[in-house]
């Protein structure tokens, strides 16, 4: 496979839903050449859609220019209403048979909470505690109280 694997890249649902840090890095670490290499790697891995949770629209034009579908769902505040919006978008994308990469600057509590919450929302895991344990194992990091607070108690409608 050509290109460079994005930092923190991990499959949450094998071949369907992945997570990584912002493509190309963030802040002073961001580099255009690295972004292009990481996009090439993602395309080779089968990713065809990027769901950006960044507050701004960074990289969206680069994704589109590379033939990826770019969806922007800014996650500024980690609150249930914002999480529900992201869950709904993710469900729609995955129902359309998209291979989705979710990213933010880093894989932080917001991203971890969204991933655990989506597993419950979509009915893939029936209990929030199981979704929490699963995402903690996949990401190799604990979920804080803010992340746990956005995990629904039951599947969404």
CA distance 113 to 133: 11
pLDDT of residue 144: 95
Mean pLDDT by 10 residues, the chain (157 residues): 91 98 76 90 97 92 95 93 96 96 95 98 96 98 95 85
CB-based burial label for 111 (10 Å; 0-12, 13-18, 19+) = buried
Across 22-156, the runs of DSSP E, i.e. the strands, are 49-52, 69-72, 100-104
pLDDT of residue 24: 86
Tally Cβ neighbours within 10 Å of residue 80: 13
């Amino acid at each position: 496979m050509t290109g460079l694997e994005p930092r923190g890249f991990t499959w949450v649902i094998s071949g369907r839903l992945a997570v990584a840090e912002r493509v190309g890095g963030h802040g002073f670490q961001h580099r255009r050449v690295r972004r292009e290499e990481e996009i090439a790697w993602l395309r080779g891995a089968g990713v065809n859609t990027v769901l950006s949770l960044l507050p701004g629209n960074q990289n969206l034009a680069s994704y589109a220019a590379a033939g990826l579908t770019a969806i922007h769902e800014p996650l500024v505040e980690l609150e249930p209403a914002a999480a529900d919006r992201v869950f709904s978008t993710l469900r729609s994308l995955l129902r359309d048979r998209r291979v989705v990469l979710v990213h933010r600057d880093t894989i932080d509590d917001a991203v971890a909470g969204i991933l655990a919450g989506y597993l419950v929302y979509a009915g893939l895991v029936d209990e929030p505690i199981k979704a929490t344990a699963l995402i903690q194992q996949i990401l190799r990091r604990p979920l804080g109280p803010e992340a746990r607070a956005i995990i629904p108690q039951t599947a969404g409608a």
